[in-house]
């Protein structure tokens, strides 16, 4: 069950895995995600689907070791397996419903931050294969933190790398790069940003200056991922929406990012403020 | 004569002790206690209890066997009508079903039908009495969506009739609400729920977890690609409702489903679980049903001071009477005729309190019902760190949206008749997915009726 057929260490803390999940691989579409549990005691962790191979019956996921659960996932070995892999979950990217003739007239810019590069990959690939113009901007702290650069280069027209320290490509933030490209007349008709909440918030402000339509993919807290619990709720256009079933992609201009960031950090603040391992948060 | 024996009280964990643990509250009858209680039954010619049981368990007959000490025989009689007696004996709202109509209740206390049913089921599990006779495989395959009581009941009846049955469950563990919703202290997971599921598997039913029907595979795929001849949908009640009041997205506001799933399914109440749960020092639970009681009593056991806020009076609390009684014994506070209007928070976005208004019962309406109305200028705030919303559910649209021709009602539930027949040929449905949040026994009954209807349909289909 859910065997890990390939494991690749992309950076010291980011790991790529190709996992057997035949039904899931057959059904996956760009924009969707899945949920894994590393072992029987494991937390249900949502991860975006980075790639899928319908013939082999595998899906590719990319995990960054940050908390206890993601470290556990990254520690699994090639040949080992996950206790559970469920999906695909969420709505596919809305643009895959467009006919190819229409896609050919579109000019996409994808803005990927850090780990967000993984979910951008299948979308860039999908639209590029169907004749859309696709540019990708990847942002990372430094050259060592960049992932999927080569793969991405193959599925887009122009790849722009931005690093905070200038160790590779453009020195600066993805927002600055986006604004520079737009100002120079890149003429994008649709932007898609996937990355840390804070990055998506600022990309939204940059895109707004150019009236550039923008979609973001929200990585909220989740438990079941099936619409049963409401842990993933976000306010979009003043209404409460469940990111796991109605998202994860939403129109960026409608998203309440400040609320989303605060909710996303809910258990993290407890972990830090409780200042010990007690997982049953008491007091604030 | 019989009427003079008082109802045999059931042993329970002491409230002060159980408020700090997750072990089952009710300890059940011993053999002697069960014999004694069974003798109270009058064996009525026209048993009102049976009519009031949604699946018409042959109550006087099984109780007569208990009274005679033939526990295995009693189990056999119950098994004719119920697939999950150890569960229903524990969670049925007996006071408004079987026991509510028992003639013994007219002048005194009704026969403890639920406790006897539970006794018989526990006894047969402990003594390995099983009802697993099944007909040989008849070559036809049925898919069941969801592994709650509806799906399990439908699957086991079909398997007994010789069908090849596969249950598809989206979560990593089967059982539906029995697994993720109802807590351990009311329904033990390993001894009771897992054992019932093992029985279903022992009949040859396959359970595939992690399958999102509507996404991983669609209902159409089941017929076209996977070769199933019929499908039963028992996908449950769906999405939790919120009140639509200010402050509901503050940190510390959760749905009861989320809170209970973290605790029950993900075992957050145990050391060693990776899934976090937050209770703070004070918890307010909004709602008055079983879900609200379960959330409140779970929060209590995790160490919080708990208040239940409900907008009507005690009489209208929809929870089982036993749960309300247990909750009070354990020290949970009830603020009745109280309606939340806003959740207030601090500058960091965390809940600090819940602003409510006092309600009073208004004039009776045309139906004679007095609904609560707000008392003017009666606002007050209850300090709290966590607010748990237990306000019911609305249907999950996923399956209906991905199944062409499957009719839904105005509220979004799947339309099905008494036998589970839907607008799509070969597709049957039942349980909470059709009725909205209801009860275990109703879902189980719907699963059983649908199994009979599926059998009829497939026998007649050439
Ligand atoms: C906390 C709580 C306490 C309760 N207490 C009581 C009580 O004391 N007494 C009582 O009688 N009733 C009680 N109920 C109600 C009772 O549990 C339900 O009415 C009953 O479980 C409904 O059964 P079901 O089979 O229709 O659905 P469920 O038990 O909800 O099972 C549905 C299953 O389908 C799965 N599913 C959903 N969508 C999909 C999909 N797309 N693909 C695959 N699988 C899917 C779900 O994961 C779930 O496992 C309680 C409910 C809750 C939440
Ligand atoms: S199934 Fe429920 S209602 Fe029927 S006899 Fe048993 S406890 Fe009573
Ligand atoms: S109504 Fe009460 S006394 Fe009569 S048969 Fe039923 S349980 Fe026994
Ligand atoms: S994660 Fe539970 S409803 Fe979205």
pLDDT tens column, A7-62: 999 888 899 999 999 999 999 999 999 999 999 888 999 999 999 999 999 999 99
A118 and A53 housed in the same domain: no
A108 and A156 housed in the same domain: yes
Whether residue B358 is contained in a domain is answered as: yes
Instruction: Give me the tens of pLDDT residue by residue for chain B, a chain 462 residues long.
Output: 444 689 999 999 999 999 999 999 999 999 999 999 999 999 999 999 999 999 999 999 999 999 999 999 999 999 999 989 999 999 999 999 999 999 999 989 999 999 999 999 999 999 999 888 899 999 999 999 999 999 999 999 999 999 999 999 999 999 999 999 999 999 999 999 999 999 999 999 999 999 999 999 999 999 999 999 999 999 999 999 999 999 999 999 999 999 999 999 998 888 778 888 999 899 999 999 999 999 999 999 999 999 999 999 998 899 999 999 999 999 999 999 999 999 999 999 999 999 999 999 888 888 777 889 999 999 999 999 999 999 999 999 899 989 999 999 988 899 999 999 999 999 999 999 999 999 999 999 999 999 999 999 999 987
| Antiparallel, parallel or unpaired: β B393-394 and B239-240 | antiparallel
Among residues A157, A184, A217, which one ends one of the domains? A217
B48-64 burial, b for 16+ CB within 10 Å, e for fewer?
ebbebbbbbbbbbbbbb
| Antiparallel, parallel or unpaired: β B26-28 and B141-145 | unpaired
Full strand arrangement of the beta sheet holding A107-113: A170-171, A158-163, A133-140, A107-113, A190-194, A214-217, A249-251
Query: A61 with A74: CB under 8 angstroms?
Result: no
Whether residue A228 is contained in a domain is answered as: no
B309 and B328 housed in the same domain: yes
Q: Domain holding A68: CATH number?
A: 2.40.30.10
Q: Residue A256 burial by CB count (10 A; 0-12/13-18/19+): exposed, middle or buried? A: middle
Residue B1: its pLDDT value, please?
46
Task: Strands of chain A (E only): list them.
Answer: 4-11, 14-20, 33-37, 45-48, 51-53, 58-64, 84-89, 107-113, 133-140, 158-163, 170-171, 190-194, 214-217, 233-236, 239-242, 249-251, 280-281
Q: Domain holding B319: CATH number?
A: 3.50.50.60
Q: Which atom of ligand 2 is closest in space to residue B89's alpha carbon? A: 7
Q: Residue B11 burial by CB count (10 A; 0-12/13-18/19+): exposed, middle or buried? A: exposed
For residue A169, give its domain range.
99-217
With beta carbons under 8 A apart, name residues in chain B contacting A281: 276-280
Give the number of domains in chain B.
3
CB contact under 8 A, A240 and B248: yes
Q: Domain holding A194: CATH number?
A: 3.40.50.80
Identify the three-state secondary structure at position A41.
coil
CB contact under 8 A, A228 and B261: yes
B251 and B344 housed in the same domain: yes
B278 and B401 housed in the same domain: no
Of B278, B261, B250, B300, nearest to A270 by C-alpha is B278
Q: Which atom of ligand 4 is closest in space to residue A233's alpha carbon? A: 4
With beta carbons under 8 A apart, name residues in chain A contacting B170: 86, 224, 226
Structure token digits, residue A46 = 């949502």
Of A209, A173, A172, nearest to A191 by C-alpha is A209
Chain B: residue whose CA lies nearest to A22: B216
CA–CA–CA angle B145, B146, B148 (5° rounding): 145
Whether residue A27 is contained in a domain is answered as: yes
Rounded to two decimals, what is the model's pTM? Answer: 0.94
Q: Does B278 touch chain A (CB under 8 A)?
A: yes
Distance, in angstroms, between A38 CA and closest chain B CA? 11
> What CA–CA distance (Å, rounded) separates B289 from B311?
12
Whether residue A230 is contained in a domain is answered as: no
Whether residue B202 is contained in a domain is answered as: yes
Whether residue A282 is contained in a domain is answered as: no
Give the number of domains in chain A.
2
Whether residue A119 is contained in a domain is answered as: yes
Query: B398 with B295: CB under 8 angstroms?
Result: no
Of A200, A159, A197, A201, nearest to A181 by C-alpha is A159
For residue B146, give its domain range.
141-237+393-460
Among residues B126, B158, B186, which one ends one of the domains? B126
* Backbone torsions φ then ψ of B135, nearest 5 degrees: -75, 155
Among residues A89, A109, A131, which one ends one of the domains? A89
Handedness of CA B372, B376, B378, B384 (dihedral sign): positive
B357-376: per-residue pLDDT in tens?
999 988 888 877 788 999 99
Structure token digits, residue A77 = 């070995």
In angstroms and rounded to an integer, the radius of gyration of the C-alpha atoms of chain B is 23
B265 and B377 housed in the same domain: yes
A110 and A138 housed in the same domain: yes
CB contact under 8 A, A269 and B251: yes
Peptide bond between residue A248 and the one before it cis (omega within 30 degrees of 0): yes
Whether residue B63 is contained in a domain is answered as: yes
Residue B334 CA from chain centroid, whole number? 22
Whether residue B213 is contained in a domain is answered as: yes
B335 and B197 housed in the same domain: no
A103 and A201 housed in the same domain: yes
C-alpha pair distances (Å), A16 with each of A8, B179, B364: 5, 33, 65
Of B386, B353, B349, B385, nearest to A263 by C-alpha is B349
CB contacts under 8 A, B 183-222 vs A, are: 209-212, 215-217
- Optimal mutation site among B210, B272, B300, interface A, most CBs of chain A within 10 A: B210
Among residues A40, A65, A89, which one ends one of the domains? A89
> What CA–CA distance (Å, rounded) separates B401 from B404?
7
Whether residue B336 is contained in a domain is answered as: yes
Distance, in angstroms, between A177 CA and closest chain B CA? 32
pLDDT above 70 covers a percentage of chain A that reads 94
A154 and A68 housed in the same domain: no
């Amino acid at each position: 069950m859910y065997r890990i057929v390939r494991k690749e260490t992309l950076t010291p803390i980011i790991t790529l895995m190709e996992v057997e999940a035949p039904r899931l691989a057959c059904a996956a579409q760009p924009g969707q995600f899945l949920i894994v549990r590393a072992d029987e005691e494991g937390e249900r962790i949502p991860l975006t689907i980075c790639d899928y191979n319908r013939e082999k019956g595998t899906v590719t996921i990319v995990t960054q070791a940050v908390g206890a659960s993601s470290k556990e996932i990254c520690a699994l070995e090639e040949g080992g397996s996950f206790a559970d892999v469920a999906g695909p979950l969420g709505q596919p990217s809305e643009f895959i419903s467009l006919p190819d003739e229409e896609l050919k007239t579109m000019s996409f810019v994808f803005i990927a931050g850090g780990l967000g590069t993984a979910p951008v990959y299948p979308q860039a690939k999908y639209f590029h294969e169907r004749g859309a113009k696709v540019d990708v901007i990847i942002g990372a702290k430094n050259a060592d933190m960049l992932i999927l650069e080569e793969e991405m280069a193959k599925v887009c027209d122009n790849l722009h790398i931005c690093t905070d320290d200038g160790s590779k490509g453009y020195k600066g933030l993805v927002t600055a790069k986006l604004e520079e490209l737009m100002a120079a007349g890149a003429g994008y008709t649709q932007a898609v940003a996937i990355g840390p909440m804070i990055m998506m918030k600022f990309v939204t402000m940059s895109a707004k200056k150019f009236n550039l339509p923008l979609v973001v993919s929200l990585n909220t807290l989740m438990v079941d991922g099936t619409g049963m619990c409401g842990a993933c709720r976000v306010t979009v256009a003043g209404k409460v929406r469940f990111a796991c079933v109605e998202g994860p992609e939403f129109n960026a201009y409608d998203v309440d990012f400040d609320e989303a960031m605060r909710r996303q950090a809910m258990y993290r603040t407890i972990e830090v403020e409780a200042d010990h391992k007690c997982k049953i948060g008491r007091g604030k | 004569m019989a009427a003079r024996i008082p109802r045999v009280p059931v042993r329970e964990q002491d409230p002060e002790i159980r408020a700090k643990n997750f072990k089952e509250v009710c300890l059940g009858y011993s053999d002697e206690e069960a014999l004694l209680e069974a003798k109270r039954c009058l064996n009525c010619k026209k048993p009102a209890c049976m009519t009031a049981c949604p699946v018409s368990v042959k109550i006087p007959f099984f109780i007569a066997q208990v009274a005679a000490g033939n526990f295995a025989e009693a189990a056999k009689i119950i098994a004719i009508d119920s697939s999950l007696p150890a569960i229903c004996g524990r969670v049925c709202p007996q006071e408004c079903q079987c026991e509510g109509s028992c003639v013994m209740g007219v002048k005194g206390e009704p026969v403890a039908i639920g406790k006897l049913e539970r006794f018989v089921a526990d006894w047969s599990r402990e003594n390995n009495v099983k009802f697993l006779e099944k007909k040989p495989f008849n070559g036809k395959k049925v898919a069941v969506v969801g592994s709650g009581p509806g799906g399990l009941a439908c699957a086991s009846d079909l398997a007994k009739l010789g069908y090849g049955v596969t249950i598809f469950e989206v979560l990593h563990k089967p059982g539906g609400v029995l697994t993720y919703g109802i807590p351990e202290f009311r329904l033990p997971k390993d001894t009771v729920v897992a054992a019932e599921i093992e029985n279903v598997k022992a009949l040859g039913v396959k359970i595939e977890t992690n399958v999102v029907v509507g996404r991983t595979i669609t209902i159409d795929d089941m017929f076209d690609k996977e070769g199933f001849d019929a499908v039963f949908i028992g996908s449950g009640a769906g999405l939790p409702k919120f009140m639509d009041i200010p402050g509901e997205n503050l940190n510390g506001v959760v749905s009861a489903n989320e809170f209970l799933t973290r605790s029950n399914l993900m075992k957050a109440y145990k050391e060693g679980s990776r899934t976090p749960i937050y209770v703070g020092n004070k918890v307010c639970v909004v709602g008055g049903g079983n879900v609200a009681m379960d959330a409140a009593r779970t929060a209590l056991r995790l160490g919080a001071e708990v208040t239940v806020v409900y907008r009507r009076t005690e009489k209208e609390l929809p929870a089982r009477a036993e749960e309300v009684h247990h909750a009070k014994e354990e020290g949970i506070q009830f603020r009745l005729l109280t309606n939340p209007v806003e959740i207030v928070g601090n500058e960091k976005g965390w809940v600090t309190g819940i602003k409510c208004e006092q309600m009073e019962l208004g004039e009776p309406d045309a139906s004679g019902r007095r609904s609560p109305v707000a008392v003017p200028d009666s606002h007050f705030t209850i300090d709290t760190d966590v607010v748990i919303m237990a306000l019911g559910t609305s249907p999950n649209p996923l399956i209906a949206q991905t199944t062409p021709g499957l009719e839904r009602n105005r509220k979004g539930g799947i339309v099905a008749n008494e036998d589970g027949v839907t607008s799509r040929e070969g597709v049957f449905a039942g349980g909470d997915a059709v009725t909205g949040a209801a009860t275990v026994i109703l879902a189980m009954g719907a699963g059983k009726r649908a199994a009979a209807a599926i059998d009829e349909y497939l026998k007649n289909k050439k």
